[in-house]
Structure 1
Amino acid sequence: MPFQAAPGLGGNLPYALSREWLETDGTGSYASSTLCGLNTRRYHGLFVAALDPPVRRTVLLSKIEPAIVSAGRAWELGANQYPGVIHPDGYTRLADFRIDPFPTWVWRCGTLAVEQSLFLVQGARLLAVQYRLLEGVGAILELRPLLAYRDYHALTHQNPALNAELHETSGVVSIEPYASLPALHFAHNCDSLARTGDWYHNFQYAREQERGLDFEEDLFQPFVLRHALEPGRPATLLVSLEPRDSAEYDALQAAELERRGAFGKDRLTWAASQFLVARGNSTSVIAGYHWFTDWGRDTMISLPGLTLETGRIESARDILLTFASHLSQGMLPNRFPDAGELPEYNTVDAALWFCEAVRSFAERGG
């Protein structure tokens, strides 16, 4: 069944922070946050890209701060934890959240109702976001992206090394903050773009603080997009590692709806699919989100449930061949490191679980 937030979500911050959503794309890349968009982990982000799929995951786009301006009044829709305060208070205007078919939020601002939906495109390392005006007239949407551009295990702070230069072409704005990381491209259909180049300071992540880790960082805000929202005139944004065209949105959405529709109402099978990722030309298994990579022991234990029980016989074959190709002195790799170094061989029982997985595979006619 589609998950929807409980009635009275608006203003119920403890409830909103206690639940998280996750979007994946089969490359190891993901998008994730809490229901109200207040990031509580260093691993949260709207576009956490696997630069060497499925590893080297990097928080490129931490979040987008939306705001609505109408009749001389501004409503900010985001929420962040700063020292001693949560700002802005967009969670008080959050009227609804649903996860099917895509993560979708609805905010109420006076007589206006504004919807945000987003999805990752399978295999493309591309985030698609759209904003629609559901009720009311005369709304100006403002979008302020906040960039982290750092390893997902790390945190970042204001620094002079960041390159704030923007490159604009028709309907696309690009930025390459650091030469060691790929540029990020924002394809959009918005009415105007204004350069800002501001640092926002002292974001705090409560889950990291609870773990006894560093929990504060700064994020870079390069520009603001503005768009007059009207019924039938949405604002569209495609965020990717390669330049795209915002006009692709409808086709990308239709393809994702068809792909996801194949799962029907089987939420468990859909959830299982999010652990399957590409490794080169083959398939592997992410041991868990947000921070695990593909682990040999975990993969072999979970393989029957993730693939054989869900009818993915070819995926099971690919996974077994992937790990068999890394066999060394009778052992399977226990972990493929984030940075793409040599696999780690430090588990004895992974090879035994491999034999059990092969037996299950053979019994299913593989």
Structure 2
Amino acid sequence: MDFYLGRSDWKTLQRGEEHSFLLVNGLGGYCSQTVIGSNARHDHNLLTAALVAPTKRFAMVRRIEEILHVGSNAYRLDSQAYVTSSDDAAGFRFLDSFFYDGLPSWEYMAEGVRVTKRLTLVYGTNSLAIQYQLYADEGVDAWIEVIPVYGFHSKNDRPLTYETISCRKKADRLFMSTKEASLYLDTDGDIESMEEEQVQWYRFDQDGPDGRDGWGGGRKIHKIKSAHTTEEDIDKRVLNGSVMLNLIYGMDENWMNIQREREEKTQNDLSAVFSHLWNQEHERQKAVMEQSGRVSETARQLAVSAQAHLTRRDSTDGMSIMAGFPFFGDWGRDTMIAFYGCTLAIGQMEAAKSILQTFMRYCRRGIMPNLFPEGKDEVMYNTVDASLLFINALWEYLQHVTEKECDPSFEAEAIKTAESIISWYKKGTDYNIHMEEDGLLAAGNGLWQLTWMDVRFGDILPTPRHGKPVEINAYWYNAVCIVRELLKKQGEEEKAARLDVLSEKIKKSFLKKFTKPDGTLYDVLPENGEPDDASKQVRCNEIFALTMPFTMIEAKQAKAILAQVRRELYTPVGLRSLSLYDPQFHPHYGGTQFERDMAYHQGTVWAYPLGAYYRACIRFSDEPKQTAKEVLHQLDQLNAALAEGCLGQIAEIYDGECPAESRGCFAQAWSVAELLRAYEDAETAVVFGRNI
């Protein structure tokens, strides 16, 4: 999907910082800035590298100052807010256009001299390539000077001003290093060292809504100058009044050597190396679109956006899913919810298998990890749903795997793990996760929040859901049914029969105890006792009871639930986490950490349940083909969301009352994954005219 922005989008510095872009490298590293080239968040960097994939991330290249020289005049092209506002750089005044088609490009103009800038990350490596090109009329003397600003610090830290960045030449390239990280630079420009490191302190206005203090910085240690447009042809840097300046950054010396060999084969033309890397990334994204099999342009964009969250994990030697950029790492619950859209929906079968194997390896007492270990940190298991959703992900994987791709030993091991989860949950395991006499699943106690509505502020639980949450019991029934079917396939008829009895018990208790008089569902039942005020709140969790492969809900009841969701929770970008008619409804998300936590699941709009809503509409429709067409029409409204905030991505959350601006993570895995899945169901229903 192509995004064009122009001068009306950056009338002021603040307006220009409303849109950003995201590139990823498949290791947890990324490149992200605003469309005017500024850093509006502490997490904005040109190169955030993953020293250990995916979450030991370092801010390496923070940004680049850019000065265009035309004769004796100099024009600052970059934009940036500084701690001292009088120092703000306003290069957006010379920015004519910004274009994003999976990779960003800019076009500037001053005194008739046109400057284009393009950049790309190199997938699978901690590498960044940038290219500037100047176009000037004959006889006009112009050149560009760029000053990189480096971090060499952990993503969430600030520059260690007492630690020097060591610089030296190595194999005709610049080698920069500190105690923890090193970086190589190849350029066809002339490098000029600066006398002293200059620390720059920036103001990050977009950090305010997330409660961060909104300032940070980086260090300048050298300048890089292009040739002049009036010079003769110098190593192809000047050609017919056009000047090229290329910068290739990398942390892997072997990778840098490969680029040097490529440069030598192209007669020392670093611009040819850039073109190769640029085209390579475009082709990779195009392949993702094709593998998804989607028809809609919006769905094809969501496929690329979903794939962006797939990542390598060094500690497990396998694949995982980043929950959200720029804040989150790879979390168990998020991974399992995003699993289908980030793997199976885009044809990433090997990644899907690897993710399942990784979680199987860490399963303990029937519980899958909520957070993986980093360094000396221990695995965190504080989740009730990750294990149940793992069983669902396994089922979906086995439904998609071809006979050629089938691995009997993996399947047998996975079924054994799934069976152990059911066993542990039945008899009881950590965090008070256990099956009660009625067959329903209860979980949580004290300060432990085990569902996705898991905010805790000190000893305050804004959304306590201890007891029997509705979606957890829908997952529980589904998991029991799945394991029953898998055991049947293995010839374990006796075990399967016992689970068949259990599934009927769960269904009977669920329908009796969770069904309200109007046919909709209670959100959570106390562990012992009748529904209380919290039980009766209208939340989006009931929608998940309609979309599991094995559901307890019949069409008549499903329609009552869908009608309630439409009335009280639906928005074009997501479902409200609490009815807008509830006295506890929070219309806005923002302010202090406390204020944000109090609103997080109390009305704030979440994008990912919207996918389940659309899928349920099709599943329980009397005319699925016509409903699917209506769903596709509604899904196309996502184009506005894809063009807001982080281009091409769907955010984590939006305000509850008027969801016009993205909040939280500007790119969330389960948001794009679940909406992509809704597109898949809708397009399939339109073609085949049947319920999914």
Show the counterpart of 2:197: 198
Show the counterpart of 1:261: 286
TM-score, normalised to structure 1, is 0.92
1:67-86 aligned within 5 A: 67-82=67-82, 83-85=84-86
Show the counterpart of 2:307: 273
Shift of 1:277: 0.6
- Confirm or deny: 8 A CA contact 1:287 1:294 kept in the other structure: yes
Shift of 1:232: 5.1
| 123-132 or 101-110, larger mean C-alpha shift | 101-110
Q: RCO (CA 8 Å, sep 6+): is it higher in 1 or 2?
A: 1
- Confirm or deny: 8 A CA contact 2:103 2:120 kept in the other structure: yes
- Confirm or deny: 8 A CA contact 1:10 1:95 kept in the other structure: no
Q: Does 2:216 align with 1:213?
A: no
Q: Does 2:354 align with 1:290?
A: no
SS in structure 1 of the partner of residue 164 of structure 2: coil
Unaligned runs of 5+ in 2: 230-237, 264-269, 291-296, 403-692
Shift of 1:325: 1.3
Shift of 1:359: 1.3
SS in structure 2 of the partner of residue 4 of structure 1: strand
Distance 2:16 2:276 in 1: 32
Match among 212, 232, 246 for residue 236 of structure 1: 246
- Confirm or deny: 8 A CA contact 1:196 1:224 kept in the other structure: no
Distance 1:183 1:201 in 2: 21
TM-score, normalised to structure 2, is 0.50
Q: 1:192 to 1:6 in 2, by over 3 A?
A: closer
SS in structure 1 of the partner of residue 201 of structure 2: strand
Q: 1:164 to 1:182 in 2, by over 3 A?
A: closer
Show the counterpart of 1:356: 392
Show the counterpart of 1:60: 60
Q: 1:219 to 1:345 in 2, by over 3 A?
A: same
Shift of 1:14: 3.4
SS in structure 1 of the partner of residue 304 of structure 2: helix
- Confirm or deny: 8 A CA contact 2:159 2:219 kept in the other structure: no
Show the counterpart of 1:318: 354
Distance 2:283 2:185 in 1: 25
Show the counterpart of 1:302: 338
- Confirm or deny: 8 A CA contact 1:55 1:339 kept in the other structure: no
Q: 1:51 to 1:196 in 2, by over 3 A?
A: same
SS in structure 1 of the partner of residue 8 of structure 2: coil
Show the counterpart of 2:127: 126
SS in structure 2 of the partner of residue 8 of structure 1: helix
Q: 1:171 to 1:68 in 2, by over 3 A?
A: farther
| 202-211 or 112-121, larger mean C-alpha shift | 202-211
1:127-183 alpha-carbon deviations (Å, 9 max, x no partner): 0111012454432111101112222122236x32x224320245411221x31x111
Distance 2:153 2:80 in 1: 19
Distance 2:361 2:397 in 1: 17
SS in structure 1 of the partner of residue 324 of structure 2: coil
- Confirm or deny: 8 A CA contact 2:119 2:278 kept in the other structure: no
Distance 1:335 1:30 in 2: 21
SS in structure 2 of the partner of residue 234 of structure 1: strand
Show the counterpart of 1:108: 109
SS in structure 2 of the partner of residue 214 of structure 1: coil
1:245-264 alpha-carbon deviations (Å, 9 max, x no partner): 36333332332232223236
Shift of 1:187: 0.9
1:14-163 aligned within 5 A: 14-82=14-82, 83-85=84-86, 87-136=88-137, 137-156=140-159, 159-160=161-162, 162-163=163-164
Q: Does 2:337 align with 1:334?
A: no
Distance 1:86 1:351 in 2: 52
Distance 2:158 2:165 in 1: 19
1:172-227 alpha-carbon deviations (Å, 9 max, x no partner): 11221x31x11111111113433343323431111334434332234210100001
| 95-104 or 338-347, larger mean C-alpha shift | 338-347
Letter in 2 for 1:152: K
Distance 1:12 1:78 in 2: 14
Distance 2:115 2:328 in 1: 35
Shift of 1:101: 4.4
Percent same amino acid among aligned pairs?
26
Q: 1:338 to 1:34 in 2, by over 3 A?
A: farther
Distance 2:87 2:93 in 1: 11
Shift of 1:3: 0.7
Match among 249, 255, 258 for residue 274 of structure 2: 249
Unaligned runs of 5+ in 1: none
| 293-302 or 308-317, larger mean C-alpha shift | 308-317
Letter in 1 for 2:282: L
- Confirm or deny: 8 A CA contact 1:118 1:128 kept in the other structure: yes
Distance 1:272 1:255 in 2: 19
Task: Write 1 or 2 for the structure with the bigger share of helix.
Answer: 2
Letter in 1 for 2:89: P
1:62-98 alpha-carbon deviations (Å, 9 max, x no partner): 1111111111000111122122335221011111111
Distance 1:192 1:290 in 2: 32
Q: For the pair shown, which has the larger CA radius of gyration, 1 or 2? A: 2
SS in structure 2 of the partner of residue 325 of structure 1: helix
Q: Does 2:261 align with 1:227?
A: no
Letter in 2 for 1:89: A
Distance 2:48 2:329 in 1: 14
SS in structure 2 of the partner of residue 5 of structure 1: strand
Q: 1:142 to 1:195 in 2, by over 3 A?
A: same
